[in-house]
Amino acid sequence: MLTKLKAKFATKTANGSIMRNMMILASGTAMAQVFSFATMPVITRIYSPSDFGVLAIFVAIVSLLVPFATFRYSIAIPLPRRSQTAINLLALSMSVSFIVAIFLSVVLFFGADYIFDFFSVSILSAYWWLLPLALLGAGIYETLMSWSIREKQFKIIAKTKMTQSIASSIIKIVLGLLAFKPFGLLLGHTVAQVAGIGSIVSQSKDTFAQNKRYINLSRILFLAKRYSNFPKYQIASRFLLAFASHTPLMFVAFMYDSDATGQLALAFMVLGIPITLIGSSMGQAYYGEITKIGKKNVIQIKEITYSLTKKLFILSIVPFLILALFGELLFSFIFGNNWAEAGIFSSMLAVYLVAQFMSAPIINLFNLYEKQEKLFLFNLQRIILIVVIFTTAYIINLEINEVILIFSIAISIHYSLIVIYLLRIFKDV
């Protein structure tokens, strides 16, 4: 009886801690998203849907490369009990980021024209140098953010989200007004990957100073082997996840035109606001908490996970209804009449929002229980599903609205199956 009472108290305490940390992250992310959303009507009136189409392809390329930026060792940083081990994982992750960025720079220096021509985005050849910068920034930020999650420094993470949003939006607006198009959009996205790194370093400098003497090459190499499942499965999984996320835009660019790509890109951008605001913020707090609890405390983590999933479902209902019922009207009013089609797309994608919203935080269970191979299989299934949908649509010459609706329903079912699997995972541990 006493054991059960202790477990219940611990669960309630952990739930409260997660909610507090989530609110800290969400507040920073919320301010960042509010600022970004407030500037979007200005940005969409400066840049054309075609410019956004170019940005969408640039973002897709960066996202596809990001899994290689740290070899996913950054995700392992919160796991070790000892800070001496974690600091070596941080050094490993950072080293990989610099090596990969240098390698990419060399490849693009000699082959940018050929590579971008092959993918029919020759306009990006002039901006090839932004790709290594964006990749390096994303790798370093991801690594430092994992350290901050480990140390439960959620306030500084929230602060960096605001810094990224402000810097990115200002650059896009100023360069757009100066007629640097689409360069302003591309540079703004690149800066968003880098901004905030200095704040995290400043916040953690004392901890780094205390532990840096424990960094040594033999330990780094040992940990590279110890956590080899992360690059072995996580790189492929994250790559497939990014590929699945951006494949619709790449298919639309191939099957239709840059205007349609830009319209769909804006729809996905708006859908990403509630997912980032609540789902991802809660996921960071959730991951930080469950790693501290420890994977052996199955009952406690199970109760936290079930509670979290119910709350996320309830929170997703309002944005779902708003987008489903008033998507076209809202987009036309907020972003301008040129973006009505993006509103239609968002209405069709609203159901997809709910399923992804619920799965975003609890997907960290794959990392906690080191089931990266299962995550890989789910991501592989998703990319196969997307390729089949768009390939079939191309063969039978479907209209773009029909393709987006079929995609939304199919992916919603897929994310729902992931949630069901994760809620049942506790029976196997």
Per-residue pLDDT of 234-285, as tens digits, reads 787 778 778 877 888 888 888 887 788 889 999 988 887 777 666 666 776 7
Q: Is the pLDDT of residue 406 over 80?
A: yes
Report residue 12 CA to chain centroid gap.
Answer: 29
Q: Is the pLDDT of residue 42 over 90?
A: yes
User: Which tens digit of pLDDT belongs to each residue from 212-244?
Assistant: 899 999 999 999 999 988 888 778 777 877 887
The CA-atom distances, in angstroms, between 73 and each of 139, 150, 196, 217, 406 are 10, 14, 20, 15, 36
Residues 6+ apart with CB under 8 A from 104: 65, 131, 132, 135
- Residue 122 per-residue DSSP state: G
Integer Cα distance of 425 and 405 in angstroms: 31
pLDDT of residue 24: 66
User: Which tens digit of pLDDT belongs to each residue from 328-358?
Assistant: 999 999 998 899 999 999 999 988 888 887 8
Q: Is the pLDDT of residue 178 over 70?
A: yes
> Nearest 10 degrees: CA dihedral of 164, 231, 130, 47?
-60
Contact yes or no for 186/58 (Cβ under 8 A): yes
User: Which tens digit of pLDDT belongs to each residue from 13-35?
Assistant: 555 555 566 566 666 666 777 78
Q: What are phi and psi of 369, to 5 degrees?
A: -95, 15
Report residue 160 CA to chain centroid gap.
Answer: 15
The three-state (H, E, C) secondary structure of 304-336, written as one string: HHHHHHHHHHHHHHHHHHHHHHHHHHHHHHHHC
Structural domain including 326 reads: 2-428
Q: Which two tokens stand for residue 136?
A: 């390096």
Q: What total of structural domains would you count in the chain? A: 1
Reported confidence tier of residue 96, pLDDT bands at 50, 70, 90 = very high
Integer Cα distance of 288 and 281 in angstroms: 11
Q: Which two tokens stand for residue 429?
A: 């541990």
Integer Cα distance of 251 and 395 in angstroms: 12
pTM of the model: 0.75
Q: State whether residue 227 is helix, strand or coil.
A: coil
Q: Is the pLDDT of residue 377 over 70?
A: yes
Question: Burial, 332: exposed, middle or buried (Cβ in 10 Å; 0-12, 13-18, 19+)?
Answer: middle
Q: Would you mind telling me the total number of residues written for the chain in this entry? A: 429
Contact yes or no for 21/154 (Cβ under 8 A): yes
Integer Cα distance of 150 and 200 in angstroms: 13
- What is the average pLDDT score of the chain? 84
Angle between helix axes 340-348 and 400-424 (nearest 10 degrees) is 40
Q: Is the pLDDT of residue 59 over 60?
A: yes
Q: State whether residue 224 is helix, strand or coil.
A: helix
Q: What is the DSSP string of 155-184?
A: HHHHHHHHHHHHHHHHHHHHHHHTT-TTHH
* Residue that has been written with the tokens 């299962």 in this structure: 374
Integer Cα distance of 66 and 56 in angstroms: 15
Integer Cα distance of 308 and 380 in angstroms: 26
- Sign of the Cα pseudo-torsion (161, 166, 172, 175, in order): negative
User: Which tens digit of pLDDT belongs to each residue from 134-167?
Assistant: 999 999 999 999 998 888 787 888 888 888 889 9
Integer Cα distance of 192 and 161 in angstroms: 9
pLDDT of residue 284: 67
Q: State whether residue 107 is helix, strand or coil.
A: helix
User: Which tens digit of pLDDT belongs to each residue from 179-210?
Assistant: 999 999 999 999 988 888 888 888 888 888 88
pLDDT of residue 9: 42
Contact yes or no for 10/300 (Cβ under 8 A): yes
Integer Cα distance of 265 and 258 in angstroms: 10
Q: State whether residue 119 is helix, strand or coil.
A: coil
